[in-house]
Chains A and B, each alone.
Chain A
Amino acid sequence: MTDSVIDVRDLSKSFGTRRVVDGLSLQVGKGEICGFLGANGSGKTTTIRMLCGLLVPDGGSGTCLGFDIIREAQSIRRQVGYMTQRFSFYDDLTVFENLDLVASVYEMPHRREAVRSIIERMQLADRRDQLAGQLSGGWKQRLALTACILHEPKLLLLDEPTAGVDAKARRDFWDLIHDFAGDGLTVLVSTHYMDEAERCNRIVYLANGHIVVQGGPQDVSRRSGLITFEATGEDVDQAARRLRRAPGVEAAAVFGRALHVAGTDRAALESAIRSAAGGDLSWREVEPRLEDVFIHLLSEQGEVA
């Protein structure tokens, strides 16, 4: 990675006595979509806020868009789009007025023109004169995203953008994100959804302010060394209950009519399946699901610590 958009080392931040982010290093290249995953309170939001210069880190250093995150925070803010977790525009202004305000605050030249074209591009024309407070969740999210990209930032920071939004709107949202990335925009997005994580070029998994693992989605699941078998057939619930207690099985979970069994020791896993599972299930090996991988990595870290 020659031209890193984000390049930070050993970032840390405490609130009171709690160390929220602890020695976090991260490099993100131009045009990448980097997914931030982790439980609530694992430091995702704090990290994002340090990157865009809203919070001053207690320790560590680095650059964002070539600006120093401590000394040149002002310049960073002009060039990033930060979409907050909660809707942070004005409920009593219309879609157009909200966007017009953002454009003027960023002192855009040809402001009316810019607002008109972005409304066109994001298909907000029908809602142009509707109050933002009356929009549905999906449209609010779209408005927030529009306001973030209006001033043509080079980096988008999205903090749980898809929380509380339906599946269709989420799919559309991610299509847009990929379009932006195709245009050379760098995107850093935090999420709780594993299916969204799989749409990122790179995922970073945080726990207690540390990076547990990072890499491409396939890369991460391969590196975990987790082996997963999937069974289909009747009585998967019964088999799951027996398998959960068997040695060598780390997780046995039922998804609809399929049973996923995961573990690190292939021999132990296979023998567990032979002995504990019922007869009329058909087994095949599958790629481990990201969810299983993260749970595995977390428990592994717990043992080390």
Chain B
Amino acid sequence: MTTFSFKRILALLRKEWIQVRRDAMTLRMIILLPIMQLFLFGYAINSNPQHLPTGVLFASQSKYERTLIAALRNTGYYDIQTMST
């Protein structure tokens, strides 16, 4: 754009401000909507992954490996399928 200028952006900002101030509904939305989203995302929606299908290939069966698998299971992140050669 060759005719870009901050003055013109400012003019539009001023217009938007008048419009927002005049319309109670818009003002309410601007304040309430982010608050609603804050609680919704905070409590209800959890973005941690769970039950990821996971395959573990055993080279040998021993105490240490069983301990490791049990620890992974207990995190709740993985659904472990064990396979042996």
Contacts and interface: CB of A to CB of B under 8 A. Distances in A.
Interface of A: 74, 78, 90, 92-93, 97, 101, 104-105, 107
Contact of A97 (B8, B15, B23): B15
Nearest to A103: B11
A104 B14 contact: yes
Contacts of A105: 8, 11-12
28 contacts: A74-B2, A74-B3, A78-B3, A90-B15, A90-B19, A92-B19, A92-B22, A92-B23, A93-B15, A93-B18, A93-B19, A97-B15, A97-B18, A101-B11, A101-B12, A101-B14, A101-B15, A104-B7, A104-B8, A104-B10, A104-B11, A104-B14, A105-B8, A105-B11, A105-B12, A107-B5, A107-B7, A107-B8
Contacts of A97: 15, 18
Interface string B1-36: 011010110111011001100110000000000000
Contacts of B10: 104
Contacts of A101: 11-12, 14-15
A26 B14 CA distance: 40
Nearest to A131: B22
Nearest to B1: A74
A284 to B, nearest CB: 59
A43 to B, nearest CB: 28
Interface in B16-62: 18-19, 22-23
Contacts of B7: 104, 107
Nearest to A98: B15
A107 B10 CA distance: 11
Nearest to A93: B18
Q: Which of A78, A90, A104 has the most C-beta atoms of chain B within 10 angstroms of its own C-beta?
A: A104
Contacts of A90: 15, 19
Nearest to A91: B19
Given A105-B8, A107-B8, 10 more contacts: A74-B2, A78-B3, A90-B19, A92-B22, A93-B18, A93-B19, A97-B18, A101-B11, A101-B15, A104-B8
Nearest to A106: B8
A68 to B, nearest CB: 15
A78 to B, nearest CB: 8
Q: Which of B12, B15, B23 has the most C-beta atoms of chain A within 10 angstroms of its own C-beta?
A: B15
Contacts of B23: 92
A93 B2 CA distance: 28
A283 B33 CA distance: 76
B1 to A, nearest CB: 8
Contacts of A107: 5, 7-8
